[in-house]
Every structure is written in C-alpha cells, then in structure tokens.
C-alpha cells in the first residue's frame, strides 16, 4: 500500500484483513464467562450526569465500534438507542450477526468514517470512542467531528494510547518498518520470532507481558504493524480536549493518576502531593509509574464540565449522594482491615472507614451518612464530618465512588 494513501484507507485495509478485536459468537456466553468491555454505560451515568437522580433513556454513538462493542453496549442497555459506525465492513458484519442473534433492535450499524459523522444528522447524549482516534491521520479533526454531534449536556468517553507503556512498542514498530515488514502472514511470523528473542531488559517486554493482543495474530498486527498510530502524554490529553472545543472532565480510573493511590501513605512523596494541582499530579504519576498504555477519560463542553465539578469541602456537600462504581469489589475482611479492589487497584481501609463506606448505597446523602456514623457509634458528633470526608474524598478522587448533587 502506498505511503501516500490516506490514513483511513490504510486502517480500513488492515481491519479488513485482520479483524480486530477478536469477534464474539454469543453475548450471553461472553457475559456469563465474566468478560466485559470497558465503558459500558449502564452503571456510569452518575459519573457522566451527576445532577440527574435517575438513569434515563439515551441516544449513544459508538464511533469505531469494531467487532462487538456496540452490540455489547446495546445488549446491556435495551432502553437506549445506539448507532455504531466503523470503517470496516468486515467488523460490522460480525456485529450484525450479534444484532440478529440477540434481537438488538436498538442498534443501527453503519459503515462510516468519523470525519463524516455529521452526515448522520443526529446528536447524542453519549459518544464512546475507544482506541480509535489515535489511528486517524488527524485525530484533532476526528475529535472535532464527534464534538459537533454532542448535545449540550452530552459527554465523550474516550480512550487513546498512552506514551509511557508504549515506548518499547514504537522502538519495535520503527525497527519493523526499517526491515521492510508489511502486514502479510510472513511478516507477522517474523514479528513473533523477533519478540521471542528480545533481551529481557528490552523496554517493550513490559507492554508485551501486559497485553492480551499477543495471543492472536490480528492483535500482533494492531500493536506492531499498524500503519497509523500515535500516543499521548497527560498534558497532551488536556490539550487534545481544549484545542478542539472541549474540556477534560475526569479520568475513568482516577486512582492511576493519584500519588496517594500509587505510593504508600508514609512515602516522602506524599509531602509534596498537596503542592500539585490535579493536572500536574496526573502527569507526575504517569511519568513515575510508566504503566499507562492507554488513557481513558471523559470530556464534554466546557460549560457543562464547569457545572459538574463537585467539592466535598463546600458548605452544601452534605446534600450529595455517593454512588459506588459498579466494578468496585469489596469489602472483604483481612485482619484488622477491609480490602477493596477495582481494575487492579487493591487498597485497604480501617474497619471504621469501611463501616462508613458500607453506607454508600446510592440512596443515602452524605448528611445521612454523617448522622449514621454518630448513631452507630463509629465516632462522636464532633468528629463525624471529618471522618466522613476522610472516607469519601479519596474514593471520589480514585473514581471508585461518584457523587450525585
């Protein structure tokens, strides 16, 4: 394929020949086996619309839906209306099979470039684009196109590659280009042979050992032979939003960008953490941990983002209703502490903090929880507010709890 051929044509050709991600034959079995796809919105509405007291029927666009994502989301949200677009007819046919099999009459699939999304003549409450914009020749143009289809209170749930974990990936990509490899099966076998002989100290090994893509050929092509691929640092994520008429709203997994979550409580770096704003702290975490192969975040119109900021230190904080993230697991008793976990973040709380977190049920306001801490004898009235804030604030920062207000 010519190097001057448009990026969209190169990507369409890749996903025609190497269908990605791996197709799913039955959604019911997929779910029963414990599989899930990040960002499924049924339990995330308090994060996106914290001023709404109940979940509403939504219009949702899945931009670059691949082989299964739009069908999976539609399967879990039958009351919502979905449009899934993708460059690859082959990928769309895999999802069309799932639409027919599971009677997903709430999903429409279309072969369409993100740059042409305005042709739909529609706007959306939620636009999800996972692992797509970083494969566009002009990601900014792609983001602007999606932003143009947002409703005033609409949100974008995005995932793009992160630079930290992919340093070694780009070293290998460059080497494979210099070797003249293409996307043939012969080249894929060469990539496998090279990866199998990498020295243990090669920085690509961290990525290789952390991804499921090494288990199938289309994943290897997507990682190492993709013709259009870029990654972002934390400052570049913020600029990506701001340069295209949007504002950064939040990380999907805030704990990955928190020094309190990444380092022990008695580590000396914690003395410096309060001196950093959230943007700088996130960047520092990314630089120090070098573990982010992707960045998952939410963006929206600046005026809407300004209205969704919640400060637990404000006078009316007690009116807020904390809601657990649907993927938060725990507590389980371990010695004198309680353990919780989500997406690889495992943490412990003292029993009295765990008793407070147990009151987070999506119904109790923070005022209710404060009263219960006193009534249940967890703490006296003088210390109730302080301990409730100490329990809830980090959970909000880590993304383990949302606040309706």
Provide the residue-wise pLDDT of the chain in tens; the chain has 405 residues.
Answer: 444 458 889 999 999 999 999 999 999 999 999 999 988 999 999 999 999 877 789 999 999 999 999 999 999 999 999 999 999 999 999 999 999 999 999 999 999 999 999 999 999 999 999 999 999 999 999 999 999 999 999 999 999 999 999 999 999 999 999 999 999 999 999 999 999 999 999 999 999 999 999 999 999 999 999 999 999 999 999 999 999 999 999 999 999 999 999 999 999 999 999 999 999 999 999 999 999 999 999 999 999 999 998 888 776 888 999 999 999 999 999 988 999 999 989 999 999 999 999 999 999 999 999 999 999 999 999 999 999 999 999 999 999 999 999
* CA neighbor of 127 nearest in space, from 116, 112, 117: 117
pLDDT of residue 84: 98
* CA neighbor of 66 nearest in space, from 160, 130, 5: 130
* Strand-pair partners of 81: 59
Residue 61, classed as helix, strand or coil, is strand
CA distance 398 to 266: 19
pLDDT of residue 312: 83
Contacts of 335 (CB under 8 A, 6+ apart): none
pLDDT of residue 5: 58
Domain definitions of the chain by residue range: 7-164+230-307, 178-221, 317-404
CA distance 258 to 108: 39
CA distance 404 to 365: 9
Helix/strand/coil percentages in the chain, nearest 5: 45, 20, 35
Contacts of 196 (CB under 8 A, 6+ apart): none
pLDDT of residue 56: 80
**Residues 338 and 391 sit within 8 Å (Cβ to Cβ):** no
345-371 pLDDT, tens digit per residue, is: 999 999 999 999 999 999 999 999 999
CA distance 268 to 374: 34
* CA neighbor of 146 nearest in space, from 231, 232, 136: 136
The CATH homologous superfamily of the domain defined by 7-164+230-307: Vaccinia Virus protein VP39 (3.40.50.150)
Q: For the chain, count helices (H), then strands (E).
A: 17, 12
52-92 pLDDT, tens digit per residue, is: 877 789 999 999 999 999 999 999 999 999 999 999 999 99
Q: Are strands 294-300 and 329-334 parallel, antiparallel or unpaired?
A: unpaired
CA distance 371 to 383: 11
Architecture of domain 317-404: Alpha-Beta Complex (3.90)
CA distance 243 to 250: 17
Please give the torsion angle defined by the CA atoms of residues 394, 397, 402 and 405, in that order, rounded to the nearest 10 degrees.
Answer: 90
User: Can you give the pTM of this predicted structure?
Assistant: 0.95
pLDDT of residue 316: 81
Determine if the peptide bond prior to 331 is cis (ω within 30°): yes
Using alpha carbons, list the distances in angstroms from residue 290 to 203, 233, 250, 277, 342. Answer: 11, 11, 20, 20, 19
């Amino acid at each position: 394929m010519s190097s001057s051929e448009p990026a969209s044509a190169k990507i369409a050709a890749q996903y025609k020949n190497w269908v990605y991600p791996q197709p799913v034959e039955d959604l019911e079995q997929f779910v029963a086996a414990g599989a899930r796809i990040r960002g499924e919105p049924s339990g995330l509405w308090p994060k996106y619309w914290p001023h709404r007291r109940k979940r509403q029927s939504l219009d949702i666009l899945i931009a670059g839906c691949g082989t299964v994502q739009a069908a999976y989301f539609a399967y879990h949200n039958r009351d919502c209306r979905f449009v899934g677009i993708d460059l690859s007819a082959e990928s769309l046919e895999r999802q069309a099979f799932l639409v027919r099999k599971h009677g997903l009459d709430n999903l429409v699939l279309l072969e369409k470039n993100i740059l042409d999304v305005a042709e739909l003549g529609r706007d959306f409450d939620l636009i999800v684009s996972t692992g797509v914009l970083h494969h566009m020749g002009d990601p900014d143009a792609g983001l602007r196109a999606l932003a143009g289809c947002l409703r005033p209170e609409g949100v974008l749930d995005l995932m793009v590659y992160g630079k930290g974990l992919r340093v070694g990936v780009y070293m290998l990509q460059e080497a494979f280009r210099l070797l003249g490899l293409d996307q043939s099966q012969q080249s894929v076998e060469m990539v496998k042979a090279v990866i199998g002989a990498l020295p243990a100290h090669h920085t690509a090994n961290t990525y290789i050992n952390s991804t499921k893509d090494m288990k199938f050929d289309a994943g290897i092509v997507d990682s190492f032979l993709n013709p259009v691929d870029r990654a972002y640092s934390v400052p570049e994520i913020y600029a990506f939003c701001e340069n295209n008429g949007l504002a950064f709203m939040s990380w999907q997994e805030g704990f990955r960008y928190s020094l309190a979550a990444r380092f022990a409580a008695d580590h000396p770096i914690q003395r410096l953490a309060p001196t950093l704003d959230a943007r700088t702290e996130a960047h520092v975490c990314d630089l120090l941990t070098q573990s982010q192969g992707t960045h998952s975040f939410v963006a929206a119109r600046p005026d809407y983002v300004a209205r969704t900021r919640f400060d637990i230190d404000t006078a009316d904080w007690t009116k807020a209703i904390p809601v657990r993230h649907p993927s938060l697991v725990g507590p389980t008793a371990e010695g004198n502490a309680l353990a919780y976990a989500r997406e690889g973040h495992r943490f412990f709380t003292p029993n009295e903090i765990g008793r407070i977190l147990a009151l987070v049920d999506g119904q109790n306001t923070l005022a209710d929880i404060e009263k219960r801490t006193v009534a249940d004898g967890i703490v006296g009235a003088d210390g109730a507010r302080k301990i409730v804030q100490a329990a809830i604030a980090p959970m909000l920062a880590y993304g383990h709890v949302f606040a309706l207000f």
